[in-house]
Structure 1
Amino acid sequence: MQGLNSFSGNQDGAGRPAPVRHAPSRPLPSKPAVRKDPAPSRLAYRLNRMMLRPLIRRLVRIGIPAFLAMMVAGIWLSDETRRANLQGGIDGLIDRIQHRDAFMVHRMEIEGASAVVEGGLRAMLPVPLPASSFDIDLEKLRERVLKLDAVEAVDLRIKPGGVLSAVVTERVPAVLWRHPRGIELLDKTGHRVASVTERDVRGDLPLIAGEGADKAAPEALALIDAAGPILPRLRGLERIGERRWDLVLDRGQRIKLPEDGALRALEGVIASNQAQGMLDRDITVIDLREDGRATARLGLEAQNGIRRARGEPELGVDGKPVAPATASGSASKTKNTKKSG
C-alpha cells in the first residue's frame, strides 16, 4: 500500500510518512490481596484480659493519676518557702471568714442565775467579748458551767445578732448538812449547793448531821415529810454509822430508827403518840432498831418517881444512886429555885 510504505521510489518528495502506532502492551497479572487476620495479638489479648479486672481498672483510672498528682504536689511542697506561703494564705483565709460580722458574738445574756453564778459563768468564757463564735466551744463551756455546785442545768446557744444566750437552772436548797468540816446546803438529791457559816443563815431548812448523811438526803427528806405532826418539835436527823437515822426532838428526846423500814417505824411512833401521847411523857429515847419491838428509855424524873414509889434511892444526874439526905437537899434546892424564879 502506498500510504504505508514511506520509502517507495515512485512517490514524490512531498509525500508524508504514516504515523507509527504502538501495539498496546498486555497487562501484568495482579497479585491477590492479603486478608488481615482479625484475631488480636498475644500482647493485646493479655492487656485486654488485665483490663477486665476491677483492681487493674481502678489502678489505671484512679491510682496512677493520684500517684502522679501526689508526686507533683510533694515536689512542689518540698520547698520550705512555698510551704510557708501556702500555710499563711490558708490561715489568712480562715481568719477572714471566721471574723466576719455574721460570726461575731458581741454580748452575753444570762437568765435564771443568781449574781454569784452569773459572775462565775462570765468568768468561764474562753475569750473576751466581742469574739468569733468559732473561738467559743459551747459544749466545753457547758461542761465547765455544770461543774458549779449551784447549777443543775444550762442551755447555751448563739442567737442571731451576736448574742450568747445562757438559760441556767439552779439547784434549790432543801436541807442543811452539818459535818466536821462545816455546814453545807444540799438539794433534794443530796448534791452540794453552797456552804454557809452558821445554821441561822437558812433557819427555814431542816438539819441533818453525820458522815454520809448527804448520800441519804432523799431518805431524810422522806422522814421529815412523814414527821408532820411532830415537825415543830423536830431539831434534825443524825446519820449513825452511815447506815441508819436518829430523829432528834426538843427536850432531849431521840427516836432511833432501824436501818431498814425507817419510814414505817416512824409512822408507827407518830400513830402511838397521837393515840397515847407517848412523846409528851418523860421519855428520852425510843429505840425501834429491833423489828416489831420498841424500847423506851425513861427520863431521870420518871425513873426517880418509880424508885420513890418502890422505896429505892433516887438517881443522880450521873445515873448513880444518891444518899437520901442529898436527894432531899437537892429536891428542896430545886423547889426553892423554882419559887425564887
Structure 2
Amino acid sequence: MLALRSGYGRGVRGAKPGIFGLSLSADGFVLPRFLRKPVRVLSRFGRGQFTPPPYAASMLTAAFLAASSLYGAYLGGHFPAMVQGVTARSGFAVDQIKVSGNRETSEIDILDKLELDGWTSLVGFDPDQARVRIASLPWVREAAVRKVYPNTIEVRVEEREAFAIWQHGNELSVVEKSGRVIAPFVGGRQAVLPLVVGFDAGQRAADFVAKVSAYPELASRVKGYVRIGERRWDLRLDNGITVKLPENHVDLALAELVALDRQDALLGRDISTVDMRFTDRLVVQLTPEAMERRQAELSAKPKVVKATTEKRT
C-alpha cells in the first residue's frame, strides 16, 4: 500500500501539461478546480491540438468592431449619450421625481434645472451637476439630489428665510437678515414682512427691528422703518404719524415713547410728527387739520374774552 501511494504520479513517465513548452504543474501541487479546464485548453492550444470553433472568427470580428465603435464614441464625446440611450431602454429611464422642502421655489423651476428629457437614464445622470444648477435658484440656500434605482430622482432643498422688504429707490426686494437680496418683491405671503427703506436699510435693519419688537404694542403699529442719512431711523406708524428717533440711545427713546403713549395716548392724537432727536425736549407737530382747528380756536379766543369783558362793564 505504501508503495502504491508513494509511487502514484511519481513513477509515471509522461509529458506534463504545459503552455508553449512551459510546465504548469509541479510535484505535489494540484490546481484549483476552476482553473483546471482553462489550463487544459491552453495546454492543448500550446501543443497545436486545439481547434477553434467555426464561429470564433465571426465573434472576434464582432468584438473588434464593437470595441472600435466604443472607442470612437469615446473620442468623439458621444459615449455618455450612448450609455444614456442603452441604459434608458433597459429599464433605467427616469420616470419619478420627488421634490421636498420647497415653499417659495416653484417645482417647475426645479424640474427645469434637472434638465431631463423623456429618455434620460438614471445611470448616466449626474446628481452633483444637477445640485449646482438647483442651488443657483434665488430662494435655494442648499440642495441635495439623490438617485434611487431603478428610475427615481429625489430632490431636497433648503430655502432662504425672508426677513424684510427692502425699498431702494423705486425697487422692492425681499432680503434676508444679513441684507442679502433674495428676489424681487412680487406680493403674496411676503406682504406681511416689515418694510425697510433707505440706502443701507437692508443691512442695518435686523438689529433695529429687534429693538422695536421688544415693545409689541409699538411694533404692531409700525408700517415702515426708514433709514435717514445712514445714521438714524424714523418710524412710520399705521395712522400716518412719523416718529423721528435720535442717532444714539435709541433704546431709551423707544422706552420713553411707549411710556408717553400709555400715559397720555400720545400716538392716538391728531399729530403728524413726534421728534425725539433732541435730548432736552420732545417736539410734537400737529396735522394740517389739527393746526387749522388750533388757529381757529386761537383766533376766536380774543373775541370771547372781549365779549365777556363788555358784559362785565
Whole-angstrom CA distance in 1 between matches of 2:148 and 2:212: 44
Partner of 2:110: 121
2:283 aligned residue (296, 303, 307): 296
Gap change, CA 1:214 and 1:140, over 3 Å in 2: farther
- Aligned with 2:192: secondary structure? coil
Gap change, CA 1:86 and 1:191, over 3 Å in 2: closer
Partner of 1:108: 97
Whole-angstrom CA distance in 1 between matches of 2:80 and 2:268: 79
Partner of 2:141: 152
Partner of 2:14: none
Partner of 1:234: 222
1:142 aligned residue (125, 128, 131): 131
Question: Alignment identity in percent?
Answer: 27
Partner of 1:36: none
Whole-angstrom CA distance in 2 between matches of 1:260 and 1:132: 63
Whole-angstrom CA distance in 2 between matches of 1:174 and 1:89: 52
Shift of 1:141: 2.9
Shift of 1:151: 1.9
- Aligned with 1:230: secondary structure? helix
Q: 8 Å contact 1:107–1:164 — kept in the other structure?
A: yes
Q: 8 Å contact 2:195–2:223 — kept in the other structure?
A: yes
Partner of 2:237: 249
Greater shift after overlay, 275-284 or 212-221? Answer: 275-284
Runs of 5+ in structure 2 lacking a partner?
1-67, 304-313
Aligned Cα root-mean-square deviation (Å): 4.1
Gap change, CA 1:154 and 1:268, over 3 Å in 2: farther
Whole-angstrom CA distance in 2 between matches of 1:216 and 1:306: 39
Shift of 1:307: 7.8
Whole-angstrom CA distance in 1 between matches of 2:247 and 2:190: 29
Runs of 5+ in structure 1 lacking a partner?
1-83, 315-323, 329-341
Shift of 1:246: 0.7
Whole-angstrom CA distance in 2 between matches of 1:95 and 1:302: 78
Amino acid at match of 2:172: I
Whole-angstrom CA distance in 1 between matches of 2:205 and 2:132: 25
Residue 209 (1) aligns with residue 191 (2) = no
Gap change, CA 1:114 and 1:204, over 3 Å in 2: closer
Amino acid at match of 1:249: L
Shift of 1:103: 7.1
- Cα deviation digits, residues 112-170 of structure 1 (max 9, x gap): 32485211111112453543456544334333322322223322222233322111233
Shift of 1:250: 3.8
Partner of 2:260: 272
Whole-angstrom CA distance in 1 between matches of 2:132 and 2:96: 20
Equivalenced residues, count: 229
2:209 aligned residue (221, 238, 243): 221
Amino acid at match of 1:297: V
Q: 8 Å contact 1:156–1:166 — kept in the other structure?
A: yes
Gap change, CA 1:304 and 1:174, over 3 Å in 2: same
Whole-angstrom CA distance in 1 between matches of 2:97 and 2:139: 20
Whole-angstrom CA distance in 1 between matches of 2:73 and 2:177: 56
Partner of 1:44: none
- Aligned with 1:252: secondary structure? coil
Shift of 1:228: 1.1
Whole-angstrom CA distance in 2 between matches of 1:264 and 1:154: 44
Gap change, CA 1:138 and 1:239, over 3 Å in 2: farther
Amino acid at match of 1:88: G
Q: 8 Å contact 2:92–2:150 — kept in the other structure?
A: no
Shift of 1:95: 7.1
Q: 8 Å contact 1:112–1:167 — kept in the other structure?
A: yes
| TM-score, normalization by structure 2 | 0.56
Shift of 1:222: 1.2
Whole-angstrom CA distance in 1 between matches of 2:280 and 2:125: 63
Q: 8 Å contact 1:244–1:259 — kept in the other structure?
A: yes
- Cα deviation digits, residues 16-61 of structure 1 (max 9, x gap): xxxxxxxxxxxxxxxxxxxxxxxxxxxxxxxxxxxxxxxxxxxxxx
